[in-house]
């Protein structure tokens, strides 16, 4: 016989933010975000608060997207029976608690549409698979505290520090989601570990991309101009714009505004997650405009129709040109050195040209301009220099 109450399936799905009672201590809690979870309020026989009154305690029963209304009523009834017998449901209830791995896999699935690309999404779950699942994957999600998190982080904190930091963030996300679904309560243990500074400080090892000296760029560019391959044209454009490899290779014609002489790289293709406008100079336009005849989706088309050049195309070209030890990404450093040493532009202008985030979150909130006019003037000077003309 099904248990009854005030709520219905339709109400559970549509009620707004707040705490909604079903009766007999069972509540549906709807967060402002829309997340829905069940809690039951019971009075455990024999337990008193500081004033000597019966102690009322709330217990999570799980998220409403996982636990149905009838299941919630049955679990609430079980909790109330135990409480009347003087048993604390927290230690005696037979909950169907998901494991850490089960919640992590569901978080991965739920967030798939938000990943920048499939590779990024796979990396997210792979980190947990390699370093968390072997140690805590089968543990109930509500039993994971600081010691369990430390089991995952401590062995790789120094040796693989960047991986460990990513792992910590991903464990924190999984535990936060579990809390929002009613499977956990209290502070996230990852936050507690960070605040307590129990892990040693590790000095970050900065890996610099090898860059060409700005003095050598005009001669290099002159040789590059003699080459007819698509990779050469893409590399010329990369040198002039100071853009990242992926941004250039993924460039589509729809991102180019010839009338405004602008390239707007959309947020989803930017490392910062923010759209970036690149002012186009005469030389940049001279490189790309002849490529329109190919009628491709991409400006720099690869060997396959309507597909971009491969990620290695420009690096392999550098090797064929016998340019030893220089990376494509290094040309961003070359441009930055020139902007500071020769052009003497303000730091903000140079950093904005490279699509770097400048200042704190608060400073960026007030500094809404992308300094396009100043950057346009800077890119004209850079183009003239690279082409071998005086600044």
Just give the CATH number of 214-386: 1.10.443.10
pLDDT digits (tens, 9 = 90+) for 91-145: 555 556 788 988 898 888 788 777 766 677 788 988 999 899 989 988 888 889 9
Q: Is the pLDDT of residue 221 over 90?
A: yes
Pairing label, strands 262-265, 276-279: antiparallel
Taking the C-alpha atoms of residue 46 and residue 57, their distance in angstroms, rounded to an integer, is 13
The whole-model pTM stands at 0.50
Hey, where are the domains in the chain?
9-92, 100-196, 214-386
Query: Beta partners for 262?
Result: 257, 279
Q: Supply angle C-alpha 211, 161, 354, rounded to 5.
A: 35
**CATH 3.40.50.300 describes domain 9-92:** no
User: What do you get for the CA distance between the two ends of the chain, in Å?
Assistant: 86
Residue 219 vs residues 17, 225, 338: alpha-carbon distances, Å: 65, 10, 15
pLDDT digits (tens, 9 = 90+) for 7-47: 999 999 999 888 999 998 899 988 877 778 888 888 877 76
Taking the C-alpha atoms of residue 350 and residue 367, their distance in angstroms, rounded to an integer, is 15
**CATH 1.10.150.130 describes domain 100-196:** yes
- C-beta of residue 239 within 8 angstroms of C-beta of residue 211: no
Reported confidence tier of residue 1, pLDDT bands at 50, 70, 90: very low
């Amino acid at each position: 016989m099904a248990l009854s109450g005030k709520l219905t399936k339709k109400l559970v799905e549509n009620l707004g933010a707040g705490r909604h009672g079903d009766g007999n201590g069972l509540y549906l809690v709807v967060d402002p975000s829309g997340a829905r979870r069940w809690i039951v309020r019971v009075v455990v026989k024999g337990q008193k608060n500081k004033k000597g009154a019966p102690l009322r305690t709330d217990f999570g029963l799980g998220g409403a997207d996982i636990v149905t209304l009838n299941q919630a009523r049955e679990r609430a009834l079980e909790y109330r029976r135990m409480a009347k017998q003087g048993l604390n449901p927290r230690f005696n209830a037979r909950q169907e608690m998901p494991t850490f791995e089960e919640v992590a896999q569901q978080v991965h699935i739920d967030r798939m549409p938000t990943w920048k690309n499939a590779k990024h999404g796979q990396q997210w779950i792979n980190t947990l698979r390699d370093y968390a699942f072997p140690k805590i994957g089968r543990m109930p999600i509500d039993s994971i505290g600081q010691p369990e998190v430390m089991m995952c982080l401590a062995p790789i904190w120094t040796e693989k520090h960047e991986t460990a930091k990513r792992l910590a963030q991903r464990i924190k996300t999984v535990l936060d989601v579990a809390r929002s679904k009613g499977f956990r309560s209290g502070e996230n243990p990852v936050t507690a570990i960070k605040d307590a500074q129990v892990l040693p400080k590790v000095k970050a090892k900065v890996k610099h991309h090898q860059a060409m000296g700005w003095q050598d760029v005009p001669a290099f560019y002159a040789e590059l101009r003699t080459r007819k391959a698509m990779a050469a044209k893409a590399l010329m454009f990369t040198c002039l714009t100071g853009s990242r490899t992926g941004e250039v290779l993924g460039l589509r014609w729809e991102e180019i505004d010839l009338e405004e002489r602008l390239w707007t790289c959309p947020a989803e293709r930017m490392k910062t997650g923010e759209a970036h406008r690149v002012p186009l100079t005469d030389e940049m336009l001279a490189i790309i405009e002849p490529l329109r005849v190919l009628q491709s989706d991409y400006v720099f088309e690869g060997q396959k129709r309507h597909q971009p050049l491969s990620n290695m195309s420009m690096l392999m070209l550098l090797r064929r040109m016998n340019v030893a030890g220089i990376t494509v990404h290094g040309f961003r450093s070359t441009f930055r050195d020139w902007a500071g040493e020769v052009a003497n532009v303000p730091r903000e202008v140079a950093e904005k040209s490279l699509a770097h985030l400048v200042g704190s979150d608060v400073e960026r909130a007030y500094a809404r301009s992308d300094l396009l006019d100043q950057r346009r003037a800077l890119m004209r000077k850079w183009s003239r220099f690279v082409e071998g003309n005086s600044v």
